[in-house]
Each structure stands twice: as C-alpha cells, then as structure tokens.
A and B are shown apart, each in its own frame.
Chain A
Amino acid sequence: MNLAFRDVRHNLFRFLLTCLGLGLLMTVVLAMMGIYNGLVADALNIVKAPQADLWVVEAGTQGPFAEASNIPGDTRDAVARLHGVAQAGSITYQTIEAPFEGGALRLYVIGYERGRLGGPQTIAQGRGLQASHFELVADAKTGLTPGDTLMLGRNRFTVVGLVRDTMNSGGDPAVFLTLADAQVLQTQLAPPAARVQAARGGSVNDGATVAAVIARLDPSVDAQSVAHTVRQWKHLSALTQAEQEDILIRSVVDKARKQIGLFLGILLTVSAVVIALIIYTMTMEKLKQIATLKLIGAPDRVIIGLIVQQSVALGVVGLTLGLALIMAVKDYFPRRVMLEPVNALALTGIILVVCVLASGLGVRAALKVDPATALGG
C-alpha cells in the first residue's frame, strides 16, 4: 500500500491546487527560456536568411547588425568578379516607423536586388517582389496582409506577400523592398543636413550606398581566403558567415542573454525556495501522523518514501502543468517563444534535484520527531 499516494488522494484538491501554483511558476520559467531561445533564433534568422558565405562591410565595422555600415553601391560588381564568388548581392538594413491605420508600425526594412542574394527565402502567403518599385513583402507579425497599402517615406507601397519569423534582434518585423526603393527611402528619411550633403555630393549613382554586399562562394573555395583578399581593399572589410553569426551573438544577443539569464536564475531560485517551503510545510503538518507511524513500528524507509515520493510527485505534476500551459499560450506572446526538448529536460532535472533536496529538509524533521508525540498525553 503506497502511503504517499493514499495521502495525496485524501487531500486531492489541496494537492492539485499546490501543483497548479507550482505549474504557473514553471510556466513563467519555461516562458523565459522560450523567449531567450526565440530571441537568439530570430536574431540568427536574419543573418542566416540570405544563405551567404561572406559579408563584405565597411572597413573598421562589425557589419550591419552591430553598427552602421556604409559601402559604395558599386562594390557588388567588384565582389562578383572575385575568384570563387558564385553570386553576390547588395543589401541594406534600416529601422523605420511607418504610419498605418492610425497607428505607427516599427519596421525593419531590408532592401535587396531582385534576382540576387538577400531576398526572402520562403513566401508564406502571396508572392515575392515582381515590380521594380513600390511593392513589399512583409513579415506576418507586422499584421499586414497582401493587398494592404502603406506610406513609406513619400511613396505608397503595396503588400504583395508575407514571410514568417523574420525580424531584427529588437523584435521589429521585417519588410523586404527592392534595393532602389530602400535607398530612396534612406535618403528621404535621412536628416535634412545629411540630405543636403548628399545632394551636393555628386552623381546619383555614387551617392547610393549599401550596408553590405553578401556573396555565395563556390563550394571548393575557402571563405577565409576570399575574405583575406577583400580586406586588402581600401575602405572594405569582410566577415565569413560564421564570424558574422558570432558577432551577432556576442554584440546583440549577449546582453539579452545576461538579462534573461539573471532573471531565469532568480526565478529558479524562487521556485526552489517555494518548492522547499511547500514540502517542508507538508511534512510539518504530517508530523503527528509520522509519529504514529513510528509508534506502530514503521521503519524509516517507509517514512522517507512517503515524503520523497510526494515531493517528487508534486514536482512532476507541477512541471507537466507548466509545460501544458506554456504550449497552450506560447503563440500569444509578442515575440517568438521557442522551446526545445532540451529545455524541458534541463528544467525537469533541476526540479527533480530541488524536490529531492527539499524533501531532505522534511525527512530530517520527520526522522527527529519523537514517537511519543503521537501519544499526546
């Protein structure tokens, strides 16, 4: 006869209520993990999306995701002519606010050359850009739908297609424009002084800069050696895809990682303390029954089993509730909540350890209790 199970069944409502409380706490912990994963995945998504091998950027900068990078618009031709480069494309990135339906949309504008690298990979709904002007493909999180129109700068654009999970590390959803449109937008939205400078500065072609040129290499070519060649050019630098991802993780994601990591640490500590308290009180309330068990001759292992089994059951049921709950609500979060099996496994491990340690406290109290207290006379 399993005493832990009998006791739980006898106080089922209370046990479930405790599990629910613990489950909610677990939901928050899991949400935190999921938000962090989503953040990393989203940030990397935008770097991985062009499926490039090499990023050519302004000399002395860490690339367009870490800081402003401006290189001449004709760099792409030079890069394309390099030995080993299969494809190349110019690309721009900028974050803008655009008025839409009485509100403002924060958008991460990606300009790319149609037919070259850098465009959206998979169109989820509608089609890709076909006209050379005034069409855009938007991330579904913008809330836009194909057929919508909106003003970007001084021009009206029509949404022709939707993509998913494309946003910058700040969570602003992306829209794709043709490179020419994006460059015009850049000039229109630039501060007036800069605009005057640009107007004085020379021909139309020269004035148009891009953020980076991305290149796909022949499989046989070593990305580092091509990067080395580019670095010898004046005003330019080059990053391999791996370096670019690494920089992004370090410069953009690291802060978020520390922030969320610390928060997660606090949450886990709170959970551990709560679990320990619950289990300790559960045992304290049972001290008289435990004294009775000792009095009728139950060995210690029966008493330890009662406490440990109950606390593990509490942890497992709480965790299961937490998992079920986060799966049910994760799509309502503004940012992507991405849970990997390994997260759930890690949390299970942590919770089990916490439960067993916490029941150690209860077990200590239980083993110390004097069987005479059951006599109460």
Chain B
Amino acid sequence: MLHDSRRVIVDIKGVAKHYGDGEARVDALRNLDLTVHAGEVVALLGPSGSGKTTLLNIIGCIIDPSKGQVSLDGEMVYDNRWLRGDLRRLRLDKVGFIFQAHNLLPFLNATDNVALVLQLAGKTAAEAQARAQELLEYLEVGHRARAMPALLSGGEAQRVAIARALANGPRIILADEPTAALDSKRAGIVMDLLRKLAAEQDACIIAVTHDEKILDRFDRLFHLRDGRLEDDEGERT
C-alpha cells in the first residue's frame, strides 16, 4: 500500500512545544515532523512524559505549538489567522475525540450525547436524533440508546463516545488510550471498529496507546522519546 499516493490529512512540520520558562522549562516536543494519510490508523507509543498527549492536543487544536506548522485536511492551522472560536468550529467539523475516560455528558442519555454534536453542527433536532440512533446501532449499542451514561458499562460508554466522535464525519479521529478501560477482547473489538471506520469514512486515526496486545491493529507505529519521533519499522500490513 502506497500511502504517499493518498491524501495527506495531518501534516506537521518542525513542531516544538515547551511548557514554562527558565528553570521550570519542560521541552515536551522538539522539532517534530509527522504526516498521516486518509485511511491510516497510526499509534503513538512512548514512555510516560514523552509528549504523546501534548502531540495529540496540538493536532486537535487544543493547545498551540511553540513553533512549527500544523495543517489539517489542507487547512493551515497555526499561522495566527485562527481565532479560538474558529478552532472550535474546525474541531467540530473535522476532529473527533475519543477519551480514555469516556467523558460523556452525565446529564444526557446516550442518544442525546451523540445528537448534541450533530445539532451543534447545524442539524435539526429530528435529523440529529435519527442519525444518532443510526450511529449507535452501527456501533452495536442501539439497545442502550435511552440509558444515562452512569448506567452504561465501560465498553458501552466507550462505544457511545466513539459514536459521538464520528457523528460529524470527522477527517481526523484522535484517541488517547481508547482501550485502557477495556478488557483485551473488547479492546480488540474497538480497534477493529476504528479500522473499519477509517476505511469507510476515509479518515485517519491517531491513537496513543500502551496496550501491547493491540499493536498489530495499527498501520504504523510512532515512538516518541524525549519529545522526538522515531518512526518504527515502517509500515505494517
């Protein structure tokens, strides 16, 4: 499979990020390049504190890099043209997040958690409800559509969260340890699902993981060490 022939979704050049200054300065990322194409499922690996979450947050437009360029689906993001509100809109349209803790809103039931992001993107209430229901069916949690998050099992909640991440057809799905809360069987199912989604929706998936057992489900592995990227043994099949 030749990735370079496919569309580039995430393109990062010379990105660095440091927190604090002087004595307290922490260099989380140093001069980092990364390119991810449509349909790719990649893993970010590395010891604790190596900068994985920082990188994910920069791609998700949650924090600004100290220097370097980030382009998402053809849009240059960090060149001072963007306001906070615009970035949030960009996030709504192009980025889906899957958290380690599922982060569903506790006061909305499963369907409404998904419908909310659809409505925020401009769908009518009826359209949003129908599409949310469809997504939940697709992720095989349709039977729990009316349940409040507190009553869902870890796996169910995670699938609802994935449905929410997918709702607006994002080009980039970011996942911080998406399977940490799941047993290995469920983790495998979630990973298969993500692979299927990437293929069907022509989106790329970037996931931080510590989970050795699911590494074979990724197209590429990136190792972060001290804020630098070491591309692994290239691509897998």
Contacts and interface: CB of A to CB of B under 8 A. Distances in A.
Q: Bound pair: A and B?
A: yes
Interface of A: 1, 3, 6-7, 9-11, 288-289, 292-300, 302, 370-372, 374-377
B101 interface: yes
Contact of B101 (A9, A293, A376): A376
Contacts of B120: 296-299, 302
Nearest to A5: B107
B112 A294 contact: no
A297 B105 CA distance: 14
Please tell me the size bucket of the interface on B: 35 or more
B175 to A, nearest CB: 11
Interface in B95-117: 95, 97, 99-101, 103, 105-108, 112, 115-117
Contact of A371 (B56, B62, B119, B148): B62
A372 B62 CA distance: 6
Given A302-B120, A372-B57, A377-B208, 5 more contacts: A6-B108, A10-B107, A292-B103, A296-B116, A297-B93
Given A297-B117, A297-B120, A300-B85, A9 B91 contact: no
Contacts of A288: 103
Contacts of A374: 99, 103
7 contacts: A3-B107, A288-B103, A292-B103, A295-B60, A296-B91, A375-B62, A377-B176
Given A294-B88, A372-B62, A1 B116 contact: yes
B179 to A, nearest CB: 14
Interface of B: 53, 56-57, 60, 62-63, 85, 88-89, 91-93, 95, 97, 99-101, 103, 105-108, 112, 115-117, 119-121, 125, 148, 164, 176-177, 208
Given A1-B119, A299-B89, A377-B176, A289 B106 contact: yes
Contact of B91 (A6, A297, A372, A377): A297
A285 to B, nearest CB: 11
Contact of A296 (B53, B92, B101, B112): B92
Contact of B148 (A10, A292, A298, A372): A10
A296 B117 contact: yes
Given A1-B125, A11-B107, A372-B57, A299 B97 contact: no
Interface-centre pick from B95, B107, B115 (highest chain A CB count, 10 A): B107
Nearest to B54: A372
Contacts of B106: 10, 289
A375 B125 contact: no
B112 A375 contact: no
A292 B105 contact: yes
Contacts of B85: 299-300
A118 B102 CA distance: 80
Contacts of B107: 3, 6-7, 9-11, 289
